[in-house]
């Protein structure tokens, strides 16, 4: 199995020589990398295997999967222009899979026509994104008990949604936290039966990287190395590859508060813009890091549970792990298991983030959070390796 994966990676690397001659990537103003229009027009929307995986995990027909990917690509482009058009009245946005359109929340009607001209649908709300983010910041400043699983900016509810563990909802410290959070601004309380946990694992077989007695998964190739989760190791820790040969060291790591890291690569190892499909799908080339909206489909690759797909449920979520809170995470309904930490979240051919933690497993299902990739790139001044 490993030999086949390595062969596919080498073949993918060879294909890059051709790919780079027919299209250039362009850097967006916010530092993300997106395909040029000419390049995007020449690229197929998805491989046959990726469409099959979406059919299996999202319950779609083949035609629906292909159509959804095309609609999500358009929504990513619309989101930027719609946000600019909305200005201070912007209240957030999300992808509506039923209509195939981006929905934009507005606090004022004055910008409605300009936003609709971008191709987005509009809904009116009371609170702007700036107001919601300010509330989020105030809630983040509170100390949360373990009975509060997390909280996030929820543009569809136009509030901050608190996820309270059902078994602890009557605990005095939980009730006190909820009361203080409500004073911070618009807050909605939601119940969950699950407590989030990180997804590192003790050393076992597979196709991971190892540090000490911990196994995690590679996220994305960057200039000089790769990015992954911060809870996998501290700066300076040595890293060993799937064959236990030395790769490099953790150059930077942050956890909790954040959950990201980067590792330098040397000693005969090299980096390619490839996410492993583990035989479920073909290995996927990475062509940029344009952020997918809430509601978009997304897939994850990790060394334990391999390849699974789902949708983006929420952004700007604070996850309250037992080790401490981690901020500005994205929540998905993609399953994951111990050892998948640090692995790749990708939407189409656009890198989204590295796996942090979650609840559940890939037999019964669950939810998983990731740290957005562009935040990591900006923090360490790294450049994503793209095809």
Q: Which residues are known to be catalytic?
A: 231, 259, 341
385 preceded by a cis bond (ω within 30 of 0)? no
Task: Please tell me whether residue 32 adopts helix, strand or coil conformation.
Answer: coil
Task: Please tell me whether residue 106 adopts helix, strand or coil conformation.
Answer: strand
Distance of CA 38 to the CA centre of its chain: 26
Q: What gap in Å lies between CA 219 and CA 228, rounded to an integer?
A: 5
Do residues 366 and 327 lie in contact, with contact meaning Cβ atoms separated by under 8 Å?
A: no
Kindly give the pairing relationship between strand 350-361 and strand 365-372: antiparallel
Extract the tokens encoding 354: 């590295």
Residue 347 bridge partners (DSSP): 350
Extract the tokens encoding 97: 């899979």
Following DSSP, what letter does each residue of 135-203 receive, concatenated? HHHHHHTSPPPTTEEEEEEETTTTEEEEEEEGGGTTSHHHHHHHHHHHHHS-EEEEEES---EE--EES
Q: What are phi and psi of 19, to 5 degrees?
A: -60, -40
Extract the tokens encoding 164: 């309270």
Count CB neighbours of 161 within 10 A: 18
Closest to 326 (Cα-Cα) out of 153, 193, 198: 198
Q: What gap in Å lies between CA 311 and CA 370, rounded to an integer?
A: 12
Q: What gap in Å lies between CA 72 and CA 61, rounded to an integer?
A: 16
Following DSSP, what letter does each residue of 240-298 receive, concatenated? E-TTS-EEEEEEEEE-SBS-EEEEE--TT----SEE--BTTBPPEEP-B-PPPPBT-EE
Tell me the CA distances in angstroms from 45 to 68, 71, 159, one per residue in order: 10, 10, 34
Extract the tokens encoding 280: 């479920």
Distance of CA 327 to the CA centre of its chain: 13
Longest dimension (CA), the chain: 62
């Amino acid at each position: 199995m490993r030999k086949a994966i390595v062969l596919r990676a080498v073949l993918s690397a060879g294909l890059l020589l051709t790919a780079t001659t027919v299209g250039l990537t362009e850097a967006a103003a916010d530092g993300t990398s997106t395909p040029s229009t000419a390049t995007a027009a020449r690229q197929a929307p998805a491989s046959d295997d990726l469409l099959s995986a979406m059919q299996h995990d999202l319950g779609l027909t083949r035609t629906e999967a292909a159509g959804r990917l095309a609609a999500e690509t358009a929504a990513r482009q619309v989101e930027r222009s719609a946000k600019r058009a909305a200005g201070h009245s912007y209240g957030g946005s999300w992808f509506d899979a039923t209509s195939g359109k981006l929905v934009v929340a507005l606090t004022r009607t004055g910008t409605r026509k300009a936003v609709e001209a971008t191709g987005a649908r509009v809904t009116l709300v009371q609170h702007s994104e700036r107001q919601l983010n300010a509330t989020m910041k105030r809630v983040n400043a509170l100390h949360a008990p373990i009975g509060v699983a997390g909280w996030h900016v929820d543009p569809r509810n136009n509030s901050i949604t608190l996820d309270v563990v059902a078994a602890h909802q009557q605990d005095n410290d939980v009730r006190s936290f909820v009361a203080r959070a409500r004073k911070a601004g618009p807050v909605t309380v939601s119940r969950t039966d699950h407590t989030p946990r990180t997804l590192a694992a003790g050393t076992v077989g597979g196709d991971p990287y190892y540090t000490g007695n911990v196994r995690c998964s590679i996220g994305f190739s960057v200039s000089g190395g790769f990015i992954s989760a911060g809870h996998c190791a501290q700066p300076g820790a040595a890293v060993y590859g799937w064959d236990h040969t030395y790769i490099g060291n953790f150059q930077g790591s942050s956890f909790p508060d954040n959950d990201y890291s980067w590792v330098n690569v040397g000693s005969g190892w090299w980096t390619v813009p490839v996410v492993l499909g583990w035989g479920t799908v073909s290995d996927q080339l990475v062509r940029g890091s344009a952020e997918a909206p809430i509601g978009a489909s997304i897939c994850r690759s990790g060394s334990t549970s391999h390849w699974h797909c789902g949708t983006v449920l929420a952004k700007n979520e604070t996850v309250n792990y037992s080790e401490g809170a981690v901020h500005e995470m994205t929540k998905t309904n993609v399953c994951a298991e111990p050892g998948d930490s640090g692995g790749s979240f990708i939407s189409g051919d656009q890198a989204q983030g590295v796996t942090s933690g979650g609840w559940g497993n890939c037999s019964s299902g669950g939810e998983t959070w990731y740290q957005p990739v562009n935040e990591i790139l900006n923090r360490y001044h790294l450049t994503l390796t793209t095809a």
